[in-house]
Structure 1
Amino acid sequence: MNRSARLQALSAFLQSQRAKLRPSEAGFPEGGRRRTPGLRREEVAQLAGVSLTWYTWLEQGRDIQASSAVLDAIASALRLTKDERKYLFSLALESGEPAPLPQEPPRIDAPLRHILKELASCPTIVSDRRCQIVGWNEAASHIFLDFDRIAPERRNLIRLLFERKEFRRLAVNWELFVGGFLAIFRSYYGEYVGDGWYETFLEEMSELDPDFLRLWEASKVSSAPEMVIEFRHAKAGKMQFHLTSLMIHGSPDLRCSVYTPDPGTTTEEKLRRLMARTQSS
């Protein structure tokens, strides 16, 4: 992203994180009139040990210098998670141009193909740092979509979540489902601050679906969110999965999103029956 977009993203992030904190959580009284939810700017500045003017400039997205020590103090004041702290540092310090994506799309090697096959009862999707789907197993095709029928350039996971009605109908809490992947996408967005593709994609998505911008602005930052997702599958009925996102060792730009059937439900049995019916038909 360019410098202006980076500073705007930093401004929006600081404001949203400040709004999430209750005054009592930071040791301030709840009483008194507050125009906006969360902490006041002067309270964050006090907690971080910086001047109100300097913090205000930072939150307004002005192009000012910030040391790692000061950013660490602000991260502590805002009670940021490890991933959120990394996101803050990436936006505030602009670590430089990222390594370019390979000319050829990432390929699934033989060991990873074997892993995908072995995860027969766990729908699994492999994606790159732009959330482009580069691999999946048979179970994923049965639960989500037949990705083979989608042109490779259209297999962006974020785009499909908003573009395809199948995903909206599938997830009982679609916004929670989307939120997990937006959290991953935001972590990439902060990590690769020099890649202009992200800003272009965000603009395209904002025009594609009115829900996108609202959910993007509310999204968290997480490189590996874990959550329980309930699906209402058209053929299998109610199903419940635990989503685990894993980086692939040796391929830092690839990750596996693994949906493990909830052991306390009949989800795995339903999935096996669904796959068996399809194979026999």
Structure 2
Amino acid sequence: MWEKADGERLRELAQFLRTRRARMTPEQAGLPTEGRRRTPGLRRSEVALLAGISVDWYTWLEQGRNIQVSSQVLESIARALQLDADEKKHLFLLALQQYPPVSGEAAAEITPALQRFLDLQGTSPAYVTDQRLNIVGWNRIASIIYGEYETMPARERNSVWRTFTSPDVRGLLQERWEAHARHRLAQFRANYAKFAGDPWWTDLIGELNRASEEFRAWWPRHDVLNGPEGKKIIHHPAAGRLEFEQVSFVTSDDPGLTVTINVPTADGDTVAKLGKLLRE
């Protein structure tokens, strides 16, 4: 069974490389043209030359042979074939190699459609986080419940920083603060694997170590976790006890953005309390 699956993966890898090679022209690759060609695209020898690897090695990949290929070789092939980010990731997955760490992170943009989606959630606090766990989008009720994101400095909108340093967050969560903080930290640790060594991350980790005793104690545990928290209870100073079920998903337009919606439970008066807050 595993041999069959592995054979299918290797065939997929071979076909993917052939199609990417076929779409490239010598002009696009910066190579001289040598008259009329019998088939479109680059020759295998030209891809090997551009990637700095042997022709035999590249040929074996296109033949679907079961050979071990390093991430450095895959990087060179991706550059030679001018693969975009999605294609490069696909190449690494087919070759069973860890995708290289991302250097930095582009600023997240909330599209008008996504903002309308957040606004349409009404009494369900909804927000968007990037891979750094910054809050980069929210609806009005989220801002009312969790704090005025509109006026917060950028650092305060980082949910890990705010969880470990804000007395307001501890007040909202009370006895459930530790469970929430450990969950958020485990999410942060899981995302950090993609950015290990990036200055933004190392700076924040250093500041959190200095600012929070709990962070200093828990960060070395290397707990990792993804996914929503499930049931969430908030103690709001004006509305009182609020109960939610959490739904979370990654957006299709930008896999680096996660939408979280706290849906009021059906067996309580949370909806009525939130409606009153929105009317005030």
- TM-score, shorter chain, exceeding 0.5: yes
Q: 2:262 is paired with a residue of what secondary structure?
A: strand
Q: Output the CA distance in 2 between the equivalents of 1:152 and 1:220.
A: 26
Q: Tell me the equivalent position of 1:226.
A: 229
Question: Matched residue pairs, number?
Answer: 184
Q: Output the CA distance in 2 between the equivalents of 1:118 and 1:268.
A: 15
The correspondence of residues 173-188 of structure 1 with structure 2, limited to 5 A, is: 173-188=176-191
Asked whether 1:136 is paired with 2:138, we answer yes
Amino acid aligned to 1:236: A
Q: Output the CA distance in 1 between the equivalents of 2:103 and 2:218.
A: 28
Amino acid aligned to 1:98: V
Q: 1:108 is paired with a residue of what secondary structure?
A: coil
Runs of 4+ with deviation above 6 angstroms: none
Q: Output the CA distance in 2 between the equivalents of 1:129 and 1:224.
A: 13
TM-score normalised to structure 1 length: 0.60
The correspondence of residues 106-185 of structure 1 with structure 2, limited to 5 A, is: 106-172=108-174, 173-185=176-188
Q: Does the 8 Å contact 2:173/2:234 carry over to 1?
A: yes
Amino acid aligned to 2:196: V
Q: Output the CA distance in 1 between the equivalents of 2:260 and 2:180.
A: 12
Q: Tell me the equivalent position of 1:266.
A: 269
**Which digits, 9 at most, give the CA deviation of each residue in 1:2-41, with x for residues without a partner?**
xxxxxxxxxxxxxxxxxxxxxxxxxxxxxxxxxxxxxxxx
Mind listing any 5+ residue stretches in structure 1 that lack a counterpart?
A: 1-92
Residues 192, 177 of structure 1: alpha-carbon distance in 2 compared, 3 angstrom cutoff: same
Q: 1:253 is paired with a residue of what secondary structure?
A: coil
CA RMSD of aligned residues (A): 2.2
TM-score normalised to structure 2 length: 0.60
Q: Does the 8 Å contact 2:101/2:193 carry over to 1?
A: no
Query: What is the percentage of aligned positions where both structures have the same residue?
Result: 26
Q: Tell me the equivalent position of 1:191.
A: 194
Q: Output the CA distance in 1 between the equivalents of 2:104 and 2:206.
A: 21
Q: 2:133 is paired with a residue of what secondary structure?
A: coil
**Which digits, 9 at most, give the CA deviation of each residue in 1:204-224, with x for residues without a partner?**
101011121223345742221
Q: Output the CA distance in 1 between the equivalents of 2:199 and 2:157.
A: 19
Q: Tell me the equivalent position of 1:51.
A: none
Q: 1:229 is paired with a residue of what secondary structure?
A: strand
